[in-house]
Amino acid sequence: MIQFVAKVALDPQVFEEATMKGLFTGRNVIPYRYGCYGYTRGGGRVWHGGQDVVGEDNDVIHFPYYTFKDGSQKAISGIVRRARIVTDKSNKTWEWGYYVSVQLDASQTPDAVNWLYFCHCSSLLVKVGQKVISGQPIAIMGNTGNAALNNPPYKHCHFEVRATATSRGLDPTAYTGLPNSVCSVNMLGESSSNYLETLIDVSKHQGKIDWAKVPYKAIVRVGYRGYGNGQLMMDERFEENVKGALQNNKLFGFYFFSQAITTAEATLEAEYAVGLINTITSGRGYPLFFDAEWSHSVHNGRADKISKAQRTACARAFCKRAAELGMIAGVYTFTSFVSTNIDYEDLCKDYVGWLADYRVNYNKTLPRYIHQYTSSGVVAGITGHVDMNHLLKALPGVKEEEKPVSGKLQKPVISGASVEDVEAFQELADKLSISFETTSTVSFQAVSQGDADKILALSKKLGLKYMSSWV
């Protein structure tokens, strides 16, 4: 027997108009690819007639609004035709568990949709024959029926729209307000009380970004160490991304993909990253993350076979040096990597944790300041998918004792210079009234931060490897 949890009035004024436009207040999420509409199951061979939507901040399912292509929305209405559960497995609707079907009133939407279905509910809030309108509570999210492929099945609402009660499901995105991809959308247009703000992280893989359209702050990849040759490389779009983010007040911080196999290499990675950061921004006070993950799916990169202790030591060395250079040091990794490949929890005692886990019911006991919840986000200004993150708490400030003291000097070292390159450095040294010596490298005397930045700029122009250390 259905137990009705609440009695809802029909007066539209009882609903909080303009506070929610999706199925759920707060964050609406499609957590898995097989929860999208279309041939999304069985390797693209099995049809899924709706979208599986999770309310991350609220489990009450609401009757939706209709969203037009220009983003404007219209309140719609209809009559509840079914509010039940079917246990007889000869009737295919048993797979829906507790469900509600609503027949729209005439001329509600410009498409062919006339029927809306809300399935897998834990309990229902409406009765057959009841009139419902946009924003009205319909049911409570659950996992009844044949809910999902997980064990146990995760709680969600299978939402489906049809032209007739017996026809195939149509595209539901105009009703959910969600793109047909694995993503999270805050239907309130504001930060949830469960996190401070949404962040993205970007690299060359996002291509050219229209930063004026991007709604979120970004963590920008500085560069990477080659997983084969071990060469330090600047991300091909680093400068472009940082300048665009700065111009539009969208820069949150930085990360560096590490393939260090020794603490000396990790220290050098931190110095390399900070050196590049300092060419565009003052750098100090921004977070800089040591990115610890597999090189790629084959797991044959130079750092993929090092021990957990080695990788932890590398991460600690990177963070220590980054902190000494005035950054807020942190570590990025993902949950399944933590157990056997890096002592993430120990590192989080001293540095900022940034953890990726795309599951709905992820391990919330692991420490983190930032939670990466999907790699398939859709964001204005970016073509294709992008990683999405929630900032869960404010980052700590730079420790005063770890800030470089005023007037502290650097010693730049450049390798791979030709005779012509040395002449170019000599010309710069003469202008700056500084000196250097050449052996296998070009080694400058201790210089100021400003002079070091000029040396770095020339090194980049000549395509040479730049290193620097504080003295």
Structural domains in the chain plus CATH codes = 12-186 (2.70.70.10), 197-402 (3.20.20.80), 410-470 (3.30.70.2030)
pLDDT attached to residue 253:
96
Using the predicted structure, report yes or no on whether residue 186 has a pLDDT greater than 70. no
Q: How confident is the model at residue 456 (pLDDT cuts 50, 70, 90)?
A: confident
Q: Which residue has the tokens 């290499």?
A: 265
Using the predicted structure, report yes or no on whether residue 6 has a pLDDT greater than 60. no
pLDDT tens readout for residues 307-322: 999 999 999 999 999 9
Q: What DSSP state is assigned to residue 397?
A: P
Concatenated DSSP letters of 31-92 = -SGGGSSEEEETTTTEEE-SEEEEESS--EEEPPPEE-TTS-EE--EEEEEEEE----TTSG
Lowest mean pLDDT among 44-48, 63-67, 387-391: 44-48
Q: How confident is the model at residue 353 (pLDDT cuts 50, 70, 90)?
A: very high
Q: Which residues pair with 388 in a beta bridge?
A: 200, 374
Most confident of 59-68, 278-287, 392-401: 59-68
pLDDT tens readout for residues 413-446: 887 788 888 888 888 888 888 888 887 688 888 8
Q: How confident is the model at residue 406 (pLDDT cuts 50, 70, 90)?
A: very low
Per the structure block, which two tokens stand in for 263?
Answer: 């603490």
| DSSP β-ladder status, 137-140 and 123-124 | antiparallel
Please check whether residue 165 is in contact with residue 101, taking contact to mean a CB–CB distance below 8 angstroms.
yes
- Element holding 269 (H helix, E strand): helix 263-280
- Residue 122's alpha-carbon distances to 89, 98, 113, 323, 393, in angstroms, are 19, 7, 26, 49, 32
Q: How confident is the model at residue 150 (pLDDT cuts 50, 70, 90)?
A: low
Using the predicted structure, report yes or no on whether residue 17 has a pLDDT greater than 80. no
pLDDT attached to residue 15:
34
Better pLDDT: 416 or 225? 225
Per the structure block, which two tokens stand in for 113?
Answer: 């949709």
